[in-house]
Structures are given as C-alpha cells and as structure tokens.
Structure 1
Amino acid sequence: MSASTGTDDVVQVRPLRVRRVAIPAATVVLIVCVIAALLLRRTSSGLLLTVSDQVSMVGIGAVLAGLILLTVRPRLRADENGVEVRNSILTRQYAWSDVRGISFPEGASCARLELPDDEYEAITAIQSFDGEHAVRAMRDLRALRRRIGQLE
C-alpha cells in the first residue's frame, strides 16, 4: 500500500513520489540493458560480444534496477505495541516506551523517531517531498500515540 492508512489501531505509511519515479526508472534501466545486450553483438571497433557478455549486461541491468527499487522499500507501521521502521535495508522495531518523540525537523528530508540518549531513527517512509501525504501521516502517527497514552 502506498498511502497512509490510519485506522484506529494501525498506521501504515509508504512514500508516494519515490515509488512514482523509482519503479519506471528501474524498468527503463533494465530494458536499456536488455536492448543493449541484444544489439551490441559487434561494435564498430571490431569487438565481438559473446553470449556471456550479453548475459552479464542483462545481469548488471537487473542489479542496477534492484538497487533503484530499494528506494521504494521504506515503510512505517505503528500500532498499540510499538513502531516498526523499515528503511531501504534495515527493519527496526521500537516499543512506545522507547520512543521519546516523533518529529519532522525544519529542512529535513524525512521524519524521525526521537529515542533515548539523544538518538533518533530516520523514518524514510515519511518524506518531505510527499507534501500533504507526509503531513497526514505525521498527524495519524501522533494521534495513534495519543490514543494509546504515549504522549510526547
């Protein structure tokens, strides 16, 4: 789900604009690599590409597309038990008792969970360039926190 779904029990958020850019970009990269692998059998300099070179080119395209698609992986899921923050690579879970606050600092690209000892976890699922979607997600998350009694 790409939108913020704020029900009484669960808030789940995924970024919107990154998905709109990254999925087509990954598709284009893969298609370009496949076409290049098929068309570049012989170059003007006399270099002959073998089947293994072509397979490697498609493989490189697949790896690049996969790396691009890592940007659509972020998700925030919060319920009465705590908050799960999934960024591009790592997923971390926090109990509400460990969360000192939820903020979106001015000029920041994404929201963050304030944690003990002046630490924080970036919430890349709530990004500034998502505009109203990010505002709604922050409101839903803060409302959930108030409902379960973990006020800021």
Structure 2
Amino acid sequence: MVSEPDVVRLRPWRARLVCWICAAAVLVVFTAVATSLHGSTGEGSATFQRGDQLSMVGLGILAAAGILLFTRPRVEADARGVRVRNILGSYDLPWEEVRAVRFGRGSPWATLELSDDESVPMIAVQAADKERAVAGVRALRALHERHAAAGREWAAADPTATGERAGPAGERAGSAG
C-alpha cells in the first residue's frame, strides 16, 4: 500500500508474488520440454522439428502471460472517488455512488457497496494480505467518511439542498438527460 495525502493505492501482495513465481516456473517448464524434444527416426515414434520446439516455447509464453493477468488488480482512491481495476474489468466511481466499503469476515476480498444496491469487488484488497488489506480498507473508509462529512456540511450550509449534488458542469448528478 502506497499512501500520499488523501490518495490511497492498493495492490495485492501475496497473489502478485505467487503469480510471478508461477509464471516463471511455467515458462521454464515449457522451455525445458521444448529443448528435450528431439527428432527421432525410429519406427512408430514421433518426429519433432524446430517449429514444434518454438511452438512449445510460445505456448509457455502465453500461459505465463495468462497467469500474469492475475497481477493486474489495483485500487486507487482520492477525494474525487475510487478507481478499481480487476482482472478483466475496471470501474471509476465517484464517492457519491459508494454507500460503504465492506470487508466481511470470511470474504476473500473487499467490496464497494453502491447506492443502487450493486456491489463492486475489489480483488486488489485480498484477505490473504491480512494486515495490509485491513490497513487498506481502513484508509478507503477514512476517505469515504471524509467525503460523506463534506457532503453533510454542504447540505447543511445550503438550505435549498434537495439531496442531489451539482456536477462539474452545473448539472445534477444522477439525473438522466
């Protein structure tokens, strides 16, 4: 976890370590198998050529790249909102959309509970990282609470506030055009 004032960046630690080790091992195994393939002239045995060996190394590279996809998750949050990048999808959410940051007992990773009763998994904050994950969730909750407190102050200061917040161009957030 790397923190700057009002910026939280989170990435899984143990999963990334395991993925890099596994990717390297898979690549070594595929390369070793490729180099052990020899041409044979005996009757009934297979004949392997240079192209077969290169294909085997290529498969090893593809398998290692697939494993390294699991190192992609990250979470970055600041005063504007939270950006979640999971293995295949990404989310850019303003704090107004986030109702709570959840990390239930027995849950493999933290989630964001959204105002429309949806939830977004944050695979970057994994239970396997133990104290790092707990510290990350606490930092996210602190940012969320600061934003919620600022919203309450804004609503209290504006007697005409309807509960909707104005967007950057003056339009109301959440209204469909």
Provide the TM-score with structure 2 as the length reference: 0.78
| SS class of match (2:75) | strand
Gaps of 5+ in 1: none
Q: Which has the higher contact order (CA 8 A, sep 6+)?
A: 1
SS at match of 1:121: strand
Task: Give, in angstroms, the shift of residue 8 of structure 1.
Answer: 2.0
* Residue number in structure 2 paired with 1:129: 128
3-state secondary structure, aligned to 2:104? coil
For the pair 1:100 / 2:99, whether they are aligned, the reply is yes
Q: TM-score, normalised by structure 1?
A: 0.90
3-state DSSP of counterpart to 2:69:
helix
Find out whether 1:18 has 2:15 as its counterpart.
yes
Identity %: 40
Instruction: Answer whether contact 2:84 2:91 (CA < 8 A) is retained.
Output: yes
Aligned counterpart, 1:57: 56
Q: For 2:116 and 2:16, locate their aligned partners in 1 and report how far apart those are by CA, in whole Å.
A: 34
RMSD of aligned alpha carbons = 1.7
The answer on whether the counterparts of 2:110 and 2:123 sit within 8 Å (CA) in structure 1 is yes
Q: Which runs of 5+ in 2 are unaligned?
A: 152-177
1:73-92 map, 5 Å: 73-92=72-91
In structure 2, distance between residues paired with 1:40 and 1:120: 49
Contact 1:83 1:96 in 2 (8 A): yes
